Amino acid sequence: MRLLPRSLFGRLVLILVSGMLAAQALTSSIWYDRRHGQVLEIPARLIATRLADVVRLMHSDPQQAHQLIQLLDTPHFRLTLSDQASSTPSTLTDSDRPTERLIKQVLAQKTGYAQTLSLLRLSLVDGEGQTAGLSTLLSSRPVVGQFLIDLRLPDGRWLRVDASEEQGWTSTSPLDLLFDYVMRIYLLRVLVLVVIALVAVRLAIRPLNALAKAAEALGRDIQRPPLPVDGPTEVRRAAQAFNAMQQRLIANIAERTRFLAAISHDLRSPITRLRLRTEMLEDTRTQERFRSDLEEMEHMVASTLDFVSSGEINETRQNIDINALLQSLQADLEDVGESVTIVGRAKQPLPGYARSLKRCVQNLLENAVRYGSEVVVRVEDQADSLQIVISDRGPGIPQEQLKQVMEPFYRVEGSRNAETGGYGLGLSIAHTIARAHEGRLSLSNREGGGLEVVLLLWRAGLPRAGVRSSPKT
């Protein structure tokens, strides 16, 4: 199973969101401390209020301090009066300091002046006396705050207070607390983060998407406008390299076109001269042999040039009537005595290059009628694709050679025909034209003998009509 998205966009968003979630998880202790302080707030206020009452009573009658302490002393509010401060070391943490300040603040408000007070120990326990954790804080059961306080009285003596008090927010349900935590700490922040990440990453990779689309369009139209050179430094360098590559391709294609034209002229001219000289031969048998060799040579040259130029489509893209194209090829074959059956119809025209596509299908049909019989053309039209399936009854092709036969100049051993095996270019030309249409050509043997050729042409993602194809190098 792939854990990472396939696209760069998805990976960048995942990295950003994962990083922020990890950071949020590390900072969740802030909420815990906040919740811990919130739970201790009411017990601390209650303890401070009771302590203020004790201070006021002892201040009003210092001589009765011991009697007052005995009266006010309870199992949950233990009071001890001494002449010196307690020697118990303080175990307070930084997170407990706000509670200490709260007690001092409430005590000062109640008594009217600031008190010298030290909070020596502070703990939060559950009903069983165990230290309260996250699960306890999220439960509806009350927890108990335990306080150990040293307070200096106005007469200089020290009052030690060992008190415990339950928190006062038992009405809040665990679901409400959990919802508050998830919504306020995680969900809202994650939503904001995802929106920001989506926008930021999309803007960041927009130049890369433009570069990818330009590369795809270059395969269809070599003369397309150059890619704009903008964006980050790396993207600008990539765009400049892409534009330079496009110009080199245009120059190479132009040079190849001139080379092909020169070869065509240079080869056809001597062949024509040889043909004229052949006609001047007196020996009829020799003349026929020369004429046959020249015809074969001329055919070979024409086939080779046809193959080389098959990937160079210099025609306007248009909507092709597939039904009319197949019927035209069927009529041409019937004129020479061949029989082809067409099954099915295309529901709508197909964008493509009419002459090239006709040559592709023509080569496939000619191979079928040359090497087989009972040729059937089946048209399967779907919303996103069109399939032209050509099947015949013949010797077929060895399984291990099905892919090799589409290579140029490759011929099946022994040929599929006793008279001639051709030059091994027909399927190569058809394959090249199929790729120029962003299609696919596949071959398979039929059960019972024969070959089935499938020409798959996609409708989705094809360029608009009128866009020129690039020459295939």
CATH number at residue 268: 1.10.287.130
Q: Which pLDDT does position 376 carry in this prediction?
A: 92
| Same domain (yes/no): 95, 169 | yes
Residues in Cβ contact with 149 at an 8 Å cutoff, skipping those fewer than 6 apart: 47, 51, 103, 117, 118, 119, 120, 160, 161, 163
Are 230 and 203 contacting, i.e. CB atoms less than 8 angstroms apart?
A: no
Give the structural domain span for 417: 318-458
| Same domain (yes/no): 41, 162 | yes
Q: Assess if residue 198 is contained within a domain.
A: no
Could you give the 3-state DSSP secondary structure of residue 117?
strand
149-167 mean pLDDT: 86
| Same domain (yes/no): 58, 121 | yes
| Same domain (yes/no): 297, 322 | no
Query: Rounded CA gap, 5 and 37, in Å?
Result: 42
- Read off the pLDDT of residues 384-419 as tens digits, 9 standing for 90 and up: 889 999 999 888 888 777 777 777 666 665 444 434
| Same domain (yes/no): 164, 19 | yes
- Using 50, 70 and 90 to split pLDDT, how confident is the model at 83? confident
| Same domain (yes/no): 256, 139 | no
Q: Assess if residue 53 is contained within a domain.
A: yes
- Using 50, 70 and 90 to split pLDDT, how confident is the model at 267? confident
Q: Assess if residue 471 is contained within a domain.
A: no
- Using 50, 70 and 90 to split pLDDT, how confident is the model at 38? low
Which amino acid is it at 8?
A: L
Tell me how long the chain is.
473
| Same domain (yes/no): 84, 165 | yes
Asked which of 284, 309, 334 is the last residue of a domain, the reply is 309
Query: Rounded CA gap, 397 and 442, in Å?
Result: 13
Q: Assess if residue 395 is contained within a domain.
A: yes
The rounded mean pLDDT for the chain is 77
Query: Rounded CA gap, 139 and 175, in Å?
Result: 9
Q: Are strands 451-458 and 440-445 parallel, antiparallel or unpaired?
A: antiparallel
| Same domain (yes/no): 140, 54 | yes
| Same domain (yes/no): 132, 29 | yes
Query: Rounded CA gap, 103 and 147, in Å?
Result: 11
| Same domain (yes/no): 292, 170 | no
Q: Assess if residue 247 is contained within a domain.
A: yes
| Same domain (yes/no): 171, 27 | yes
Q: Which pLDDT does position 81 carry in this prediction?
A: 87
Asked which of 309, 336, 365 is the last residue of a domain, the reply is 309
The sheet carrying 116-125 orders its strands as 77-82, 158-166, 144-152, 116-125
Q: Assess if residue 205 is contained within a domain.
A: no
Asked which of 309, 341, 356 is the last residue of a domain, the reply is 309
Specify the number of domains making up the chain: 3
Q: Assess if residue 243 is contained within a domain.
A: yes
| Same domain (yes/no): 442, 369 | yes
302-323 mean pLDDT: 69
- Using 50, 70 and 90 to split pLDDT, how confident is the model at 420? very low
Does the pLDDT at position 268 exceed 70? yes
Q: Assess if residue 112 is contained within a domain.
A: yes
